[in-house]
Amino acid sequence: MEAIWTAVAIGIAAAVLIAFGRRQRRNGNPTQWPPGPPKLPIIGNMHQIAKGGDPFHIALTKLARVHGPLMTVWLGAREPNIIVSDQDLAWEVLVSKSSDFAGRQFPAFPYKFVTADYRIIFTSSAGPHWHGLRRGLQNEAIAPQGLAAQAPVQESDMTKMINEMIKEASLNGGGRQALPPHPAGHHQAPLPPLLWP
């Protein structure tokens, strides 16, 4: 029985690898990415990043010491991530040539439907629409005047929350009372019955 499952697993793995190979050949000339660590077919470079148990930024710093200040890292098989770890290169990418590197690509499903045809600030590419959204945020929502106008509301909410915590602590002998455990193991309101008798 084990031999059958092993054969099935090997067959599925072979089919996936063949499909990825055909997809790359069908695309014609592959994009020339900066050098980077060698990747595995499905997980990309995740095994190298998680290898030492270091935090993400430390693992990338160690890889950059080996592969240079501009490298390609694959987090899975879909899209590459270009890692820039040199101050001068970062300035060139983020400031000097920002319009060249500001384009964003998202898969059609579900982003096209959820983001109003890519028309919100984090999915639209740099252009007149994106600049208008950014200008609106800078002039209204996150402008110093807008943030200052929110300060009294935030302070009143914080005061209410602190007073409620003090009141609850005084009623419970100086501590907060734990929520009762839910039968399913998590805290969730019971769902109404779907079919009424």
DSSP string, 129-182: HHHHHHHHIIIIISSHHHHHHHHHHHHHHHHHHHHHHHHHHHHTTSSPPPPPPP
Residue 54: which residues within 8 A CB-CB, separation 6 or more? 62
6 within domain boundaries: no
Which residues constitute the domain of residue 71?
32-101
90 within domain boundaries: yes
pLDDT for 70-112, tens place per residue?
999 998 877 788 999 999 999 998 888 877 777 666 666 676 7
pLDDT at 191 over 50: no
Q: Which of 118-132, 138-152, 178-192 has the lowest mean pLDDT?
A: 178-192
pLDDT for 45-59, tens place per residue?
998 988 888 888 899
Higher pLDDT, 65 or 122: 65
Distance CA 93, CA 132 (A): 22
Alpha helices in the chain (DSSP H): 2-26, 46-49, 56-67, 87-91, 98-101, 108-114, 128-136, 144-171
pLDDT at 190: 47
146 within domain boundaries: no
Query: What pLDDT band is residue 131 in, cutting at 50, 70 and 90?
Result: confident
pLDDT at 109: 66
The domain tally of the chain equals 1
pLDDT at 188: 47
pLDDT at 186: 47
Percentage with pLDDT > 90 across the chain: 22
80 within domain boundaries: yes
Higher pLDDT, 67 or 77: 67
pLDDT at 72: 93
58 within domain boundaries: yes
pLDDT at 73: 93
Section 130-158 average pLDDT: 87
148 within domain boundaries: no
85 within domain boundaries: yes
CA nearest neighbour of 134 among 96, 92, 102: 102
Distance CA 173, CA 51 (A): 47
CA 172 to chain CA centroid, Å, is 40
CB-facing half-sphere around the CA of 55: CA atoms within 13 A:
2
- What secondary structure letter does DSSP report for 93? I
Average pLDDT along the chain = 78
Q: To which residue do tokens 């309101």 refer?
A: 189
Give the max Cα distance, the chain: 71
51 within domain boundaries: yes
